Every structure is written in structure tokens, then in C-alpha cells.
Chains A and B, each alone.
Chain A
Amino acid sequence: MLLAKLMIPESSRHIFTDFDSALEDLRKNVLMMASLTVRNIENARRGLFERDEDWCNTVIADDEEVDTLEIQVDRDGIETMLRFHPVASDLRQVMAAMKMSVNLERVADQTVGIARRARKLNAHVLLPETAETEPLFRHAESMVLDAIKAYADQNTELARTLKPRDRELDAMNRDFANKLTELMPKRPEHIQGYLELIFIARFLERIGDQATSIAEDTVFAVEAEDIRHTQAG
């Protein structure tokens, strides 16, 4: 579905068609990275909630694909700048693709972190508090999906929804960590497990940050407005 959105409309094509091809290839690879990253989040979720070590191991192994694509996008981006000297919106698009690949690679790294912690949790008795990370998972994943959709569709209205949603995720993470910290003295036998869950929530919170960065870069690519480190949604 994402790939269908890659085609550049006839009216905005460049005279130099090689440049269009280069831009399309760049976007294809970024969106491929995005698909793999979303798959990794989904697999990490299954690893945690289905208590399945195989899914956790799959996430850790699949990270390599995302890493490889990150390097590819970097190379393609540099080559595109070298060959075509893009300016204005073209330059912003190349930069957005390169920055997006960095953010996606970081999201994939966070999912590896989640998978590693989930593997440890799965080796012990099920903690009922594990289920309470589900809303954080849902929230973080929906942010990543919408950040990718906003990039693919160049939809800045959707991109601008990410910042307030990130603040909500931050609050959810804070509340969850506070709750587990309070439980620790009461159930010292579960301290290790609670720490793993706090780490998982923290990884999800970081995923939200990276989704927000992708959205901010999309707004810059499309509207040339830099909304980083501002309250602007």
C-alpha cells in the first residue's frame, strides 16, 4: 500500500528524469525500512504478550535488515546530492528521507531492547503488570504508523498530531514507572521483573520520540517550517 504512494505525479516531475528515479528509489528504501520497523514492533509485542522467545529472537535477528537499509539510504542520499545538487523542496525531501532512515533505525533498536527485556521476563513467572504496557504499546505503534503515513502522503496535518500524542505517551510512561516503583518495596521478589517492564515502557516512550522526529522532518520537508523544540503541533 505504501509503495503505491511512491509515484511522483506527472505535473511535479523533473526535466531530468534520472533525478525522479533517484528520489523514488530513496523513498522506496525508506518506506521499506518503515515496513520492516513496524513488523519488528509487532513481533516484539507478540514476544512480550505471547511470552514467546522465538518472536523475541526474530526481532533481534531482523534488526540487521533495517541496519543494512539505513546504510543504503545514506549512500543513495549522498549520491543524489552529489549528482543532482537538489535545492528547495527537493533538498528537503532528500534530507527528510535520510533523517527518517536514522529515526527508523533507532526505533528498530528500541524494539530490539524490548525483545531482550521480554526474553528475560519470559524466563520468569508472569507478572500481571505486564498487561499494563499494552496501552503504551498501542499508543507508540499508532504514532509510528501515523508518522510513516504522514511522510508517505506528505500529510502535514497528520504529522502535526504527533507532538501532543508524544506528550500523552510521556505521561503514560511516567505514571507506569511511578506505579511500579511504588510496588517494588511491597513485592521485592518482583523487583527485577518490574525493572524490565520499566525499561520496556521507556523504550516505547523513546519510540514515540522518534516517531515525533519523523513527523517534524515531514513538516519541514513539505512546508519548510521547522517545528522542532517548539510547542507547535
Chain B
Amino acid sequence: MTETSARSVDAKHVSPGRPDFLTVRNFDFFYGKKQALFDITMDIPEKRVTALIGPSGCGKSTLLRNFNRMNELIDGIRHSGDIRLLGQSIFDKTVEVIALRRSVGMVFQKSNPFPKSIYENVVYGLRIGGESKKSVLDEAVERSLRGAALWDEAKDRLHESALGLSGGQMQRLCIARAIANRPKVLLMDEPCSALDPIATVKVEELIHELKQEFTIIIVTHNMQQATRCSDKTAFFYLGKLIEFAETQKIFSNPVQKQTEDYITGRFG
């Protein structure tokens, strides 16, 4: 955790392992009249993997999508409280949403490569950001595909369609696309739920590697995955944060009865 990689993002802003890298304070969130999150307060540490778990509808994905303001694509939403990345509110008027989403990348449940070549998928964000220099783009492609553990499988077919990749490779391509922008935070919304066990293992190993460089927040319904991949786990229920602690603690001896009931399958 103390090692700073040469590829580390914006090292001038960050002392490695900062415990309050991403902070949530008294955060309420509403879809119209329906309140989806209640008074959430938590500190997400830098360069660690934080898992958000809980039954469907508990608010974990809603919170995840707030971290890069993805929810703003939905009508009628509102919030109170604050979310701060490196001390700066992500809702501040000076924050550009596009820039925020570049800093806080996202990988979705179903891989969603563009119907373009592998190369173009990876550099898509950089091109949108105005980068056109071939050497920069080439470097980004290799760096990102290596970072996503896809380089060896894809280096000889960079200009072939991404849609020819397997499901697991597509998901790793989406991870490569997300990290090409050198984000500070990587959000993952059930990234392995559509993958077979072997592809899942590869993505989980990748998550372990990526945390050397990125702060990762993962939503998962798979308890074993949370146990294997994450350093900290937050349990949500009915829009409330019930317990947030080291993963080992949550899965061996949680403090709250609701957490224990959920992880041991007594909920229902």
C-alpha cells in the first residue's frame, strides 16, 4: 500500500494509502419522492478495494453511481450531504462532470465494448479528450491492455473488432478502456456476474493487481468474491449503511446482527 507506482495518478495530490481518499458525508439520495439512501457517511481508503454488498434495492449501486454522478442522467433525482474526492466536493459547481467521470471510471455488469477495434475501444476516452498523437495513443493502449492483463492475448489483433473477443476478454477490455484515462477511482458494478469461473478468476486477479495503482469500489452479490477481492466491505440494507469494516472482520465476526444475518443467509 505504501508503494507508489511510476504510473500512479496525480501523485502530487495524494499521499499513498490516504484513508479519506473518497469521503461520503451525511449523504441522502432521492429518486423523485422515494428516498434511496439515508444519511450515508463513510471514508473510502486510497489504493484499496472496497466492496459494497447488500440485497437488491439496498442502495449500493445507487451510491456507486453517485461517485461519478452517473445518476444525474436520471430525471427527478436529488441529494443532500456531500461526496468528496481528495477533499473536493464532486458536486462543486467548478467540477465538470466529464472530467469527474474521467477521474472516476466505471466498469459495468455486462461488458459493453464499442463496435470498433480493440485499439479504438481503449483510446476512445483519450480521443474524446482531444488526444490524437499516435505515440501517446499507442503507449496508452499497451499500458492499459497490460494493466488489464489482456495485452498478450490482444497484441496481435489490436485492429480487429472488439466484438470478436470472449466475454471475459471483453470485460477486461472494458477495464482497459476505463484505466486508459488514468482514473483515480475505478468503480465496478458486478463486473464478474456475466463471466464464467475462469474469466472471473482472471478479473479478480486483475482487481488485486489494479489496487496497486487505483482505488477500487466494487458492487457484488457474490460474497465469496467480496471476501477474496476486497480489503474493506460495506453492508447496506434498505438504503442505510449498516456496517463498514475490514472485510476479514465483516465475514468473520460482524458487529451488527443484520450483517451477520445477511452474510450467513438468514435474511429473507
- Measured CB to CB, the residues of A under 8 A from B are 12-16, 19, 85-92, 224
Q: Can you offer 7 A-B residue contacts whose CB atoms are under 8 A?
A: A14-B266, A15-B266, A15-B268, A85-B223, A85-B224, A87-B227, A89-B253
Please state if A89 and B260 are interface contacts (CB–CB under 8 Å): yes
Given A15-B267, A15-B268, A16-B265, answer yes or no on A91-B223 (Cβ-Cβ < 8 Å): no
Q: How far is the CA of A19 from the CA of B266 in the complex (A)?
A: 11
Q: How far is the CA of A90 from the CA of B253 in the complex (A)?
A: 10
- Residues of A within 8 Å of B267, CB to CB, are 15
Size class of the B contact interface (CB-based, 8 Å): 10 to 19
Q: How far is the CA of A92 from the CA of B253 in the complex (A)?
A: 9
Please state if A88 and B265 are interface contacts (CB–CB under 8 Å): no
Please state if A13 and B263 are interface contacts (CB–CB under 8 Å): no
Q: Does B94 contact A (CB under 8 A)?
A: no
Please state if B266 and A13 are interface contacts (CB–CB under 8 Å): yes
- Contact among B224, B254, B268 with A88 in the assembled complex (CB-CB below 8 Å): B254
Question: Within the complex, what minimum Cβ distance (angstroms) separates B259 from chain A?
Answer: 8
- Contact among A15, A19, A88, A92 with B263 in the assembled complex (CB-CB below 8 Å): A88
Question: Within the complex, what minimum Cβ distance (angstroms) separates B248 from chain A?
Answer: 11
Please state if B263 and A87 are interface contacts (CB–CB under 8 Å): yes
Query: Known pairs A15-B267, A87-B223, A87-B264. 7 more at Cβ < 8 A?
Result: A12-B266, A16-B265, A86-B264, A88-B264, A89-B253, A91-B252, A224-B253
Please state if A14 and B260 are interface contacts (CB–CB under 8 Å): no
Q: Does B251 contact A (CB under 8 A)?
A: yes
- Residues of B within 8 Å of A88, CB to CB, are 251-254, 260, 263-264
- Residues of A within 8 Å of B223, CB to CB, are 85, 87
Question: Within the complex, what minimum Cβ distance (angstroms) separates A85 from chain B?
Answer: 6
Closest to A15 in B: B268
- Residues of B within 8 Å of A91, CB to CB, are 252
- Residues of A within 8 Å of B265, CB to CB, are 14-16, 19
- What does the 1/0 interface line of B117-151 toward A look like (CB < 8 Å)? 00000000000000000000000000000000000
- What does the 1/0 interface line of B229-268 toward A look like (CB < 8 Å)? 0000000000000000000000111100000100111111
Q: How far is the CA of A19 from the CA of B263 in the complex (A)?
A: 13
Question: Within the complex, what minimum Cβ distance (angstroms) separates A95 from chain B?
Answer: 11
Q: How far is the CA of A86 from the CA of B227 in the complex (A)?
A: 12
Q: How far is the CA of A1 from the CA of B251 in the complex (A)?
A: 33
Q: How far is the CA of A90 from the CA of B262 in the complex (A)?
A: 12
Question: Within the complex, what minimum Cβ distance (angstroms) separates B228 from chain A?
Answer: 11
Q: How far is the CA of A221 from the CA of B69 in the complex (A)?
A: 43
